Amino acid sequence: MSAALRSMTAGRTQAGTPVRVSIVIKALNECEHIAASIESALAAAASVGGEVILADSGSSDGTIEIARRYPITIVQLQDRRQRRCGVGPQLGYQQARGEFVYILDGDMELDPGFLPAALAAMATEPRLAGVAGQVREESGASYQFRGRKRRGVERIARQCEWLDMGGLYRATALREVGYFSNRNLHAFEEMELGLRLADAGWTLRRIPAAGVRHHGRPEGNWALLARRWRSGYLDGTGELLRAALGRRYFLRAALTQRHLFLALSIWAGLAAGIVLLPSPWMLGGTLVLIVALVLARALRTASIADAMFGQLVWQVTSLAMVRGFLRRQRCPATPIESVIIASSPTADPVATRDQPRPL
């Protein structure tokens, strides 16, 4: 271990003593960025008395080999067929001992000053369940990440309905709402958590402090869209609605996907105008709606190409929403089967186990 890394971990929590913050890094094939992510987490944890847990969904690219160099807990998903975005946070939470839990992606670096600022904010508001910081987006390879940079939503300090791109959560709030992240979701796990927390009377906030640096995906538009269709990521919209079915926040969940219901109406209009009830008026009206949506998006993005591709993403995702809604779901509080690959030297051998913490 380097002198710099020894310095990072010099103030870490001793085994068996209370942990202030558990930093959970969720990863799948992140060998390019995982070292920087872990080192940023260790540095942040040392400043507040914390631990670092890598929750891996079955990496095959050297991520685990790199992670083994560091004094962290490494837990890996046992059944790779269960891979979901919602699995990682819950998998790490099952091993977490902290009063607070921070979720970090394997392609992110945590700012060393964020945790003290976040803990200070949460100390003043007992019903503040989670806090996120400002996100510095590095990738511009695809339409999605260019749009994220342009909108800058993750750089605005405000009350939030959910915390995209990671955040620090109060463990008592997570226990109250039953689980950290829904294991069934291929995406939108932060949104689903936010809806549950709000329903239970908790609040969330993004504060004006540097949070994370995000490297993002290197693929271009078409490659990223194809990968997300194959992996089931696009199904997350429908899975979110399925998880909210029968809950008091179902309507709110449905409203977050209203653009996809509009996209489904376009498919319906095209089908009616071409196949079901051949009608030039129906077909023409649907095409006019598509053109209007593309032009409206082009005014925001200043790019016709991005606007056209964005409309295509809507149309494809609306079909995936149907597929995701029809997918069967397991009880989200069911323990996720996993294997502990390495235990942190600071971990309590009794507390660190292959089972979720009692709720």
Domains in the chain with CATH codes: 3-218+331-342 (3.90.550.10), 244-326 (no CATH)
pLDDT at 256 over 50: yes
For the chain, percent of residues with pLDDT exceeding 70: 86
pLDDT at 144 over 80: no
Residue 155: pLDDT band by 50, 70, 90 thresholds? low
* Mean pLDDT across 79-104: 96
Average pLDDT along the chain: 88
Region 297-309 average pLDDT: 87
Mean pLDDT (whole number) for 167-191: 97
Q: What pTM, to 2 d.p., does this model score?
A: 0.87
Predicted confidence at residue 150, as pLDDT, reads 59
Whether residue 257 is predicted with pLDDT greater than 90 in this model: the reply is yes
pLDDT at 6 over 50: no
pLDDT exceeds 50 at position 235: yes
Residue 349 predicted with pLDDT over 80: no
Q: CA 41 to CA 38: how far, in whole Å?
A: 5
Strand partners, 169: 101, 130
Answer yes or no: is pLDDT of 2 > 60. no
